Every structure is written in C-alpha cells, then in structure tokens.
Amino acid sequence: VIRQICSRTSISTRRRILEQADRRRYGNFAVGIEVLPTEIVAVLTDPTGYNYGQRRRGLANMKVESVVREIDVVARDLVTTHLGIDLPSSRIAIGLQIGGPVDARAGLVLSWANHPTDPAFAVDPDEWREPVRLAALVEEGTGCRTVVENDAAAYAVYEQRFGVGYQTGSFAVVLVRDGVGGGIVLDHRVISIPFEIGHLTVQPDGRPCPCGNNGCIESLAGRRAIRGIVGKLLGGKTDTDGIKQAIDLADDGHEKSKEVLTAFREGGEAIARGVATILTLFGVSHVVVYCDRAMSEAESTRPAVAAFFAGLNTFGKYTFPTFKTCQLVLKQWRSTDGALGAALVALNQLFFVPLADLELPT
C-alpha cells in the first residue's frame, strides 16, 4: 500500500498519509459523546480534531442503565470500525457531555432535568435527580478513562479550539436548545463550574420552569419554552413540531401572530439578560450564542426570528456600561460540534492535549 501511495501522490500528501498511519498505530484518540434527550451523538477524533467517524443512535429510554449501555456500544463500534482497536485500550479516552450541571472533577452528573416531552422516553423522575456517577459507569463498561462535562462547557471547549478562541482568551457560550445553558472560558481556561445561566430569574412571577422556580430565562427562551407558550396561545395543545411551526405562525395573517411575535421577542430579551449578567460579572470580550438552525441570521427575514434578534440585541441595556461593546457572535449548532467538544475535553484532561495554539487540521 505504501509503495502505491509513494508512486502516485505528492510529497506533502504522502507525508500526511504516513503521519496519519503512524497516529493510527501509536497515537491517542478520544470518543466524544453528546447525551441528548432521545439520542446520543458520538465522534471519534485525535489531537488535531480530525473526524475519523461519527454515529448517531436513538435511545430506547433515558434510564441511566440504558444510556450507559448505548454509550458502550457506540464507543466500541467507532473504535473498532475506524481504528481496528478493541476496548479496553489505554490509547482511547472517552469524553461525555450532557445538558445539566456536572461535577467534572468527580465525574458526576449532579442532576438532569432536560427530560424529553415524548411519553415514550419517560423516566422515573427520581432517576437523574440524585448525582449519577456517569464517568465511572462508562469507565467500568468500556475500560477506558472517561470524563464528563456540561454540554455548554463542551461547546465552549469546541469554540476555544476551533472558534472565537483564535480571537480571545476570555469568552462565554450560551447554548439555546430545549433549554438554555452556558459555559465560560477565562484566560484560556474553561471554568468547570455549574453555570446555570438558563435559570437566572428574569420575571419574578413568570412561567414555571422545569427546575421548580418561576420566570427563569429557560422558561421564556429555548425550544421547550416556545413550544409551551405558543401551544397555550393555540388553545392548550402543545405543538410537537416545535420551533419551525411557531415561526410560521408569526407570519402575517395568522390571528395569533402578534402574540407569537411577542413570545419570540421576550425569549430574545430573556437571553439578553443572561448575556448582560455574564458581561457584568466577567467582562468577557465575546459571547457566542448557539441557536437552532431555524433561528439563524439567514432566517432573519422571518418576523419571529427578527423579533428574537431584536430582543437579544437589548443586552446593552442591562450590561455594566464598560462592557457594552462586547461582540455577540451568533452560530447554529451542528450535529457533531458538541460531541467533538466532549472529545477535546477528554484529550485535554487525559492526554494533556492543549486546547489553544495548535495547528489547524487541514
């Protein structure tokens, strides 16, 4: 094979192929896994961030036991298929991320309340309420060293390595999905603390939040909140199709379009309050806001999306004046970014791979 490669390819390509072959034989790798409410997304990478393979796998239910079993299956499959390695292996690390507060040092998921609304996925409400030793459970199954991080913190690591990390050492990430999460990087270090920005109270007597309080940012913004608010406007039926249909309803002509627009604007404003709080406390230069593809800048001609952005842009009103000039960066989350972030966390913590100043993958 090598002789064939030598005869047909340029020197630089040849060098790259041989380096990769060396890496496959001797290098370290990480499987990054994003645990979502009804599925897991996994990616296999090396210290350059190269994507060797990815998997997306639906979960039968959200019991801890089932989640751990699926993680095991996916990790083994990726490593065997793409590297020819059978687990356990000291060259493979596993990074997990989940949308709840974690104790990364102890490998614990402190709680997880981001339960799917679909009754088919219902779990015993007590199941994720007490701390879960997720890292240890996965480690026991796979035999690979495993770390766990909060989802937004994993996105922050991804940004540090491939995004705004090239421009600044201090920034925050706000992740708007079903709920609203946050992660923060200060002086090039991801601060691994529970950073529950989605649960700042912005309307003291506002809507109930899944956390048990009222008027949290997350009760006004994010897919779950918008579905709930718009569902109520339509007479109590919760819309399962979600955000896209809500955006359609805000277009002119629908009898509830005005109220739907207000919901989107209030959602944007709620996040603006969170951004303002981050800025006032930490004075970072950039805040990256990750949204649904349906809420991207490309869609800002849609009245609902425009209303959301208008709300979001009010952050300066609530920010300590010195930090008003912060740059707000809007992004859509892509399916494997979060898993890649989790893999980078594992590479960093278990194989000491630096997160900044690395050569970009080609």
Nearer Cβ to Zn ion, position 82 or 207?
A: 207
**Using CB under 5 A, which of the segments 134-142, 195-203, 255-263, 331-339 binds Zn ion?**
195-203
Site for Zn ion in 122-181 (CB under 5 A): none
The count of chain residues that interact with Zn ion, using the rule CB under 5 A, is 5
In angstroms, rounded to a whole number, what is the distance separating the alpha carbons of residues 100 and 64? 14
Q: How far is the CB of 131 from Zn ion (least distance, A)?
A: 19
Nearer Cβ to Zn ion, position 159 or 196?
A: 196
In angstroms, rounded to a whole number, what is the distance separating the alpha carbons of residues 199 and 219? 8
In angstroms, rounded to a whole number, what is the distance separating the alpha carbons of residues 239 and 231? 5
Q: How far is the CB of 231 from Zn ion (least distance, A)?
A: 19
Residue 330, beta-bridge partner list: 289
Q: What are the backbone angles phi and psi of residue 220, rounded to the nearest 5°?
A: -115, -30
The answer to whether residue 113 forms part of the interface with Zn ion (CB under 5 A) is no
Q: What are the backbone angles phi and psi of residue 76, rounded to the nearest 5°?
A: -60, -45
72 closest CA partner among 82, 91, 57: 57
Nearer Cβ to Zn ion, position 199 or 286?
A: 199
**Using CB under 5 A, which of the segments 203-211, 246-254, 267-275, 353-361 binds Zn ion?**
203-211
64 closest CA partner among 120, 117, 118, 129: 129
Nearer Cβ to Zn ion, position 206 or 316?
A: 206
* Three-class SS state of 243: helix
In angstroms, rounded to a whole number, what is the distance separating the alpha carbons of residues 138 and 134? 6
Applying CB under 5 A, which of residues 62, 94, 104, 209 lies at the interface with Zn ion?
209
The answer to whether residue 225 forms part of the interface with Zn ion (CB under 5 A) is no
**Using CB under 5 A, which of the segments 81-89, 174-182, 194-202, 264-272 binds Zn ion?**
194-202
Nearer Cβ to Zn ion, position 83 or 272?
A: 272
Q: How far is the CB of 201 from Zn ion (least distance, A)?
A: 8
Nearer Cβ to Zn ion, position 218 or 337?
A: 218
Q: How far is the CB of 218 from Zn ion (least distance, A)?
A: 5
Q: Indicate if the alpha-carbon torsion angle 37, 312, 213, 197 is positive or negative.
A: positive
In angstroms, rounded to a whole number, what is the distance separating the alpha carbons of residues 323 and 215? 25
Q: How far is the CB of 70 from Zn ion (least distance, A)?
A: 28
The DSSP letter of residue 148 is: E
**Using CB under 5 A, which of the segments 64-72, 209-217, 254-262, 272-280 binds Zn ion?**
209-217
Applying CB under 5 A, which of residues 87, 123, 136, 211 lies at the interface with Zn ion?
211
In angstroms, rounded to a whole number, what is the distance separating the alpha carbons of residues 164 and 286? 8
The answer to whether residue 216 forms part of the interface with Zn ion (CB under 5 A) is yes
Cα angle at 168 between 298 and 201, to 5 degrees?
Answer: 65
In angstroms, rounded to a whole number, what is the distance separating the alpha carbons of residues 14 and 254? 60
- Name residue, tokens 């799917």: 116
The answer to whether residue 190 forms part of the interface with Zn ion (CB under 5 A) is no
Q: How far is the CB of 216 from Zn ion (least distance, A)?
A: 3
Nearer Cβ to Zn ion, position 197 or 209?
A: 209
- Burial class of residue 124 (count of CB atoms within 10 Å of its CB; 0-12, 13-18, 19+): exposed
Nearer Cβ to Zn ion, position 35 or 209?
A: 209
Give me the residues that bind Zn ion (CB under 5 A), please: 199, 209, 211, 213, 216
